[in-house]
Amino acid sequence: MNVNKQHLKLAAAGIAGAFVLYSGFAYWAGIKAEETLAEQHRMIAAMSVFTVKSHQYERGWFSSEETTELALNQQLLGPYIGLLPENLRPLLGGTLRYRHQVRHGLLPGLFDMDLRPARAIVRTEFDMSDATRKTLQRFFGDAPPITVVNRLGLTGGGELAVSIPTFDYEETLAGVKMNWKGFDLKVNYQAGYKEYHVESTSPGFTLEAGPKGRFAFDSVKYLSEVRPGSSGVKLGSSELTVGDIKLNWNEAIPYSIKLNELIYLVGRVRVGEFINPSGEFRPSNVGLSKLKYQIVTSEQDDFVNTRGKLDFERFAYNDSVYGPFKLDISANHLHGPTLVKLDDALGKLPFQGLEPAQLRKKYLDTIVKEGLPLLQNDPKLMVNAFYLKMPSGVAQASGSLALKGFQQSDLKNTLLFLKRFTAQANIELPQQTLENLVVAQARNLFTVDASAEEQPNLEEIDALARSLLSAQLDEWAAQKLIRREGGQISTSLLFNEGILKVNNHNVALPWQEPEEPAPAEASAAQ
């Protein structure tokens, strides 16, 4: 009997000791979880697109709660929001409020039958209006429209998982059907969020809009790996792949785009009404297959090299088929410490209380002040390959642009600054493609607003553009500045030490043209 009592006492002591240890770990894990989430919040608050309206963190012994309310930065985005249709503006004018439910302890997922050790598990809930909730229920039913779970690991890193469930939606009377195959995102990150791996997948989506048409995409996948470099620049790679995108639309869609207003917002330059395109997208069948985008950033000593690739197998627009397409570009020998300083300086620029003109001036002043070392360290841009097969032929190009020996004083001498550049290019494209571009530009130049009573004769504009282009090409061919063969036009460019060669023939630049002698009568009068 005494032995049993002794066993009970030892068991009770063991349970009590385990509880004390677990409680102590839970308290420590709660402190560390708050530090990790505070770092996450600072990253969000530093994003210029958001302003933080409120933020609160209440830490308990075994669980905590964090509540944040964000709004879009109206000072930054307000002018652009004004360009949107009125029914879309309220969506960007409201607030986003979310709540983090934090459980911390050695086994924070114990009640969910998750026995993996961690510092904490954070589940995010989004506050929605009744109207929004009812709208989402039409698609997702009783299932949550989005699930966000952040597992904070024992060593300071963690794993963030985001998922959106599948749904099938149909409106029989309207003939609308939607099939969404879901979305999954996983982010594995190290302590401090400085190194992370991202993987997201979206199997596909189909929209059938009755007699209007159909839109679908499938097999979208994104992969990314990021790590800090010795200079502070983020290194790594990212890749996006898309299986197929298809659009079959049976109705014309009118459009009127006020490009002059957009240019004024960006550059504060009034360019007039003539650049505002208007018309309609006609019924069309569009298909894009096997799209792939990849970018890789590496480091050598204090210099950063980055390379981007974009290609697709086939792009079809009605009866016209393009592809394959390949683009391979690089930016090399970029001074890493300067990139870090420039990014940090631009991120610290204040947005609140500044007029767009003031903000633009601050941007330019910061770029000039912090970005000059980029030019002083011999950067080089390269088009390694550009290739596109078109119905009328093949367009391809390669080239490079390098700056060497630049000094800040060169900015005061335009000719000396230009001599610092070395550029070369090889270009080939179908003559029909060049003709189409010239005709389209001529139409944009001479066509007035579609609502005007008198419209120019497009056939006359097209004929004039073709005639002028043909005469110009004949002149360039006679000067041996271009080569023409089998409907293709090709040439090469080389600019070095202020001298330009086109197709291995010297071409005088404007400041190199000899001055015309004064007329004889004027000379005699003098």
pLDDT band at 270 (very low <50, low <70, confident <90, very high): very low
pLDDT band at 77 (very low <50, low <70, confident <90, very high): low
What pLDDT does 268 receive?
45
Tokens encoding 336: 């890493």
Minimum mean pLDDT among 31-40, 288-297, 421-430: which range? Answer: 31-40
What pLDDT does 360 receive?
72
pLDDT band at 86 (very low <50, low <70, confident <90, very high): low
**Which residue, among 417, 425, 427, has the nearest Cα to 497 in the 3D structure?**
417
Per-residue pLDDT at 364 exceeds 70: yes
Q: State the DSSP string of 115-162.
A: ----SEEEEEEE---HHHHHHHHHHHTTS-S-EEEEEE-TTS-EEEEE
* Nearest-angstrom CA–CA distance, 96 and 494: 54
Q: What is the mean pLDDT of residues 281-294?
A: 87
pLDDT band at 269 (very low <50, low <70, confident <90, very high): very low
**Which residue, among 195, 130, 109, 200, has the nearest Cα to 163 in the 3D structure?**
200
What pLDDT does 172 receive?
81
Distance of alpha carbon 126 from the chain centroid: 26
pLDDT band at 244 (very low <50, low <70, confident <90, very high): very high
**Which residue, among 123, 14, 103, has the nearest Cα to 61 in the 3D structure?**
103
Per-residue pLDDT at 273 exceeds 50: no
Helix (H, G, I), strand (E, B) or coil at 221: strand
Instruction: Tell me the C-alpha to C-alpha distance, in Å, between residue 492 and each of 75, 435, 502, 503.
Output: 47, 20, 6, 5
- DSSP-assigned letter for residue 512: G
Per-residue pLDDT at 201 exceeds 70: yes
Range list of β-strands (E), 212-339 = 213-228, 234-249, 253-256, 278-281, 284-300, 303-312, 314-317, 320-322, 325-335
Average per-residue pLDDT for the chain: 84
Minimum mean pLDDT among 245-259, 294-308, 508-522: which range? Answer: 508-522
Per-residue pLDDT at 30 exceeds 50: yes
pTM of the full predicted structure?
A: 0.81
pLDDT tens-place string over residues 331-347: 999 999 999 888 888 77
Angle, alpha carbons 122-126-127 (nearest 5°) = 135
Per-residue pLDDT at 291 exceeds 80: yes
pLDDT tens-place string over residues 442-473: 877 776 555 556 667 778 888 888 999 999 99
What pLDDT does 444 receive?
73
Contact 66, 56 (CB under 8 A): yes
pLDDT tens-place string over residues 367-425: 888 888 999 999 999 999 999 999 999 999 999 999 999 988 888 888 888 999 999 99
* Nearest-angstrom CA–CA distance, 126 and 486: 62
pLDDT tens-place string over residues 475-514: 999 999 999 998 999 999 999 988 999 999 998 887 776 6
Give me the numbers of helices (H) and strands (E) for the chain, helices first please. Answer: 11, 26
pLDDT band at 154 (very low <50, low <70, confident <90, very high): confident
Instruction: Output 399-407 pairs: Cβ under 8 A, ≥24 positions apart.
Output: 399/423, 399/424, 399/425, 399/426, 399/427, 399/493, 400/424, 400/425, 402/378, 403/375, 403/378, 403/379, 404/378, 405/378, 406/375, 406/376, 406/378, 407/376
Per-residue pLDDT at 184 exceeds 80: yes
Q: What is the mean pLDDT of residues 96-113?
A: 87
